[in-house]
Chain A
Amino acid sequence: MRHIISILVENESGALSRIAGLFSARGYNIESLTVAPTDDTSLSRMTIVTKGTDEIIEQITKQLNKLVDVVRLVDLTESLHIEREMMLTKVTAMGGMREEIKRLVDIFRGHIIDVTETSYVIELTGDGDKLDAFIKAIGGKSIIEVVRSGVTGIARGEKALKV
């Protein structure tokens, strides 16, 4: 099963490699990992998407909790949550294709954020399925480059991950 684990870590050098190292040393899978400082500058928030049986996910959360730099963590997938990922896509856009791509971007509620005579850069946010669907719709031939931010997420309602 796919799980999204959200972690508050001390904003210290080495915290990221401790966590990444734990995954590689214990053979856990990382699908994506994002990290950035939070509103509290002493903390960073990390979101890790991983896959595993219930036993493995239990071990992952326990082993993460054991790291001295980890302040708090939650498995978002255990309850209602929102997940988002941002994707920047550079596509060839010439002639009649320009209008068609623009329409597609509108349908997916994305934005064109850079324009040249032959290309667009498109910004699109959503869950993974939506981003995949967009790539499919655009078609492989016109894509020049794709960059995805990796998943971030937050619990629905009043629940919060904070110290």
Chain B
Amino acid sequence: MELSGGEIIVESLKCEGVEYLFGYPGGAVLHIYDALYQQKDIQHVLVRHEQGATHAADGYARATGKPGVVLVTSGPGATNAVTGIATAHLDSIPMVVLTGQVPRAFIGSDAFQEVDAVGITRPCVKHNFLVSSIEELAPTIKKAFYVASSGRPGPVVVDIPKDVTAPNIKIPFEYPESVDLRSYNPVLKGHPGQIRKAVDLLVSAKRPMIYTGGGVVISDAAEELTEITRTLGYPITNTLMGLGAYPGTDSQFIGMLGMHGTYEANMAMHECDVLFAVGARFDDRVTGDVEKFCPGAKIIHVDVDPASISKNVKVHIPIVGDVKIVLHEILDTLRQSNQRPDNPSIETWWARIRKWQADDCLSYDRASKLIKPQQVIESLWEVTGGDAYVTSDVGQHQMWAAQFYKFDKPRRWINSGGLGTMGFGLPAALGVQLAHPDAQVACITGEASILMCIQELSTCLQYDTPIKVINLNNRYMGMVRQWQEFQYDGRYSHSYVDAIPDFVKLTESFGHVGMLIEKPADVEPALKEAFALRDKLVFMDFVTDQTENVYPMIEAGKGHHEMRLAPARELA
């Protein structure tokens, strides 16, 4: 079969089992678009901005574990995609981004819509390629999918000059069956000696903590994690990226940790003697001041990326390997040995943790006459039976979503944790809903974030994605306002969102349903009504208490044991 470059791309994507291609056309990719037009297997999703394409592909990838795929044109198409590529990079999300490039003969001449896409994206991809001949197309796409989805996943950019895709130049097509990359061989199995040491240390613990992150979700190791945690009977905390990998409603789960984690999770981190870190990277939002981090703990760290180990915090027992495989190995070793946890010590430890829990650090004023954002998330959890896919934007609403929606399953909580990209939520929800057409999908957002990719409401109409947008409208860039309140004596410099649109009208003009909710008593009925509209996108504009802050909080330079609690709590 002789195919043109454009056709080779399309056929290669089919060979990779790609269902959706999120894209936006332009001069440099027109040959590829022509090839797409002539087939039916891959559904192209026409976004309204290339940033939306990358976030939608990213949401699809997070919800399914399969790589998200993007096609954009050269120049501005590529630069618009960069924010989404960087977002996926920091959260280790598998993604393949095909960017058009000017014809080979024009590269370097400042041609129309030329940017050095490989150069611009280099620091925010796992790897990238410039395809220099039609013969290289299929092998490069094969490599791109392999690199993107193996080891520690990440985005891979393939930059394709227009002339390589020309319809009149054809070569025989054969998609490679395997990839041979001598320079890239991720280690997947843990070192047996290290695993034995880890088990010895785990069972010897008197005040153990299990701290897990996005790596558990990415490696599909929720089951293994749950089994180990239950077998040991130890307390577990998740990072923002790791929520759902262990059931959020389980009694061994003591909440998220870090800057806006629970008091009990952070206190337990501070006092633990053995820390079992799995698929987590000791991010600064998690550790607080590293000098004060887990002062008395021996640390075991499992991660597929050797560079994550001892990067921010020195660990005692590093185990490089795929989280799922290593957890299996640890479970096996644990079962085969006759070592068991020190139950009396663990009981004492739990008693201490229960005391911290009794402080109820997430409590808020339930009698308020204004809608409290926490109430909206709690109601959302109830109305959706705790089983929705929830995407979010960035800000206070994101933290409340993480604190109050108790995720019992992995891949349900989809947010930009690493880069913190406002504008992520809506297009991500689009990708999630396409991946799971029958699932309930909610996008929790703020009135500032939502405006960063609001144009994707149009895409949502075109592809019938009945997302429920939960806009926690506090008429502030709330997270910025909160920092200004705490650190700048309430000088609210440019954090007020002025001239906010009428979201109901705006939504309606996009062809969707809009709702305005202003009273606490209306929150739950409105949510029920919205979710009953199963085939409609509903934008719910909740007018919330402007002054509400996210508590508890670890401020800059503080340790886990120095949390700032809600003011009412400090009085009590």
Contact = CB atoms under 8 A, between A and B. Distances in A.
Contacts of B306: 62, 65-66
A6 to B, nearest CB: 15
Interface stretch (B36-44, B93-101, B123-131): B123-131
Interface stretch (B177-185, B244-252, B467-475): B177-185
A58 B310 contact: yes
B305 A163 contact: no
A8 B184 CA distance: 13
Contacts of B532: none
B122 A10 contact: no
Nearest to B181: A68
Contacts of A70: 183
Interface residues of A, number: 21
Contacts of B385: none
A18 interface: yes
B310 A21 contact: no
Most buried by B among A25, A59, A62, A163: A62
Contacts of A65: 306-307
Contact of B123 (A25, A66, A71, A72): A25
Given A68-B127, A68-B181, A70-B183, A14 B118 contact: yes
A63 interface: yes
Most buried by A among B147, B181, B182: B182
A123 interface: no
Given A59-B307, A62-B306, A68 B126 contact: yes
Contact of A68 (B119, B183, B314): B183
Contacts of B118: 14
A17 interface: yes
Contacts, number: 39
B311 A59 contact: yes
A108 B119 CA distance: 44
A163 B183 CA distance: 9
Nearest to B132: A13
Most buried by A among B123, B182, B183, B306: B183
Contact of B310 (A9, A13, A55): A55
Contacts of B128: 14
A69 B183 contact: yes
Contacts of A63: 307
B183 to A, nearest CB: 4
Given A21-B122, A58-B310, A163-B182, A66 B130 contact: no
Contact of B130 (A9, A13, A71): A13
Given A10-B183, A13-B130, A66 B122 contact: no
Given A13-B130, A17-B119, A21-B122, A66 B183 contact: no
A70 B181 CA distance: 11
A13 B128 CA distance: 11
A66 B307 contact: yes
Contacts of A163: 182
B122 A18 contact: yes
B305 A66 contact: yes
A121 B305 CA distance: 50
B311 A71 contact: no
Nearest to A14: B118
B183 A62 contact: no
A58 B309 CA distance: 10
B183 A71 contact: yes
Nearest to A42: B182
Interface string A1-29: 00000000110011001100100010000
B130 to A, nearest CB: 7
B184 A62 contact: no
A161 B127 CA distance: 24
Contacts of A55: 310, 314
Interface in B160-204: 181-184
A72 B184 CA distance: 10
A9 B506 CA distance: 53
B182 A71 contact: yes
Contacts of B305: 66
A10 B127 CA distance: 13
A119 B123 CA distance: 46
A69 B147 CA distance: 12
Nearest to A63: B307
Contacts of B310: 55, 58
Interface string B109-136: 0000000001100110011101000000
A129 to B, nearest CB: 33
B130 A14 contact: yes
A75 to B, nearest CB: 15
A163 to B, nearest CB: 6
Nearest to B119: A17
Nearest to B129: A14
Contacts of B307: 59, 62-63, 65-66
Interface in B280-332: 305-307, 309-311, 314
Interface in A112-131: none
Interface string A33-77: 000000000000000000000010011001101101111100000
14 contacts: A9-B183, A14-B128, A14-B130, A18-B122, A21-B123, A55-B310, A55-B314, A59-B307, A66-B307, A68-B126, A68-B183, A71-B182, A71-B183, A72-B183
Top 4 closest pairs, chain A to chain B, by CB? A62-B307, A71-B183, A68-B127, A68-B184
Interface of A: 9-10, 13-14, 17-18, 21, 25, 55, 58-59, 62-63, 65-66, 68-72, 163
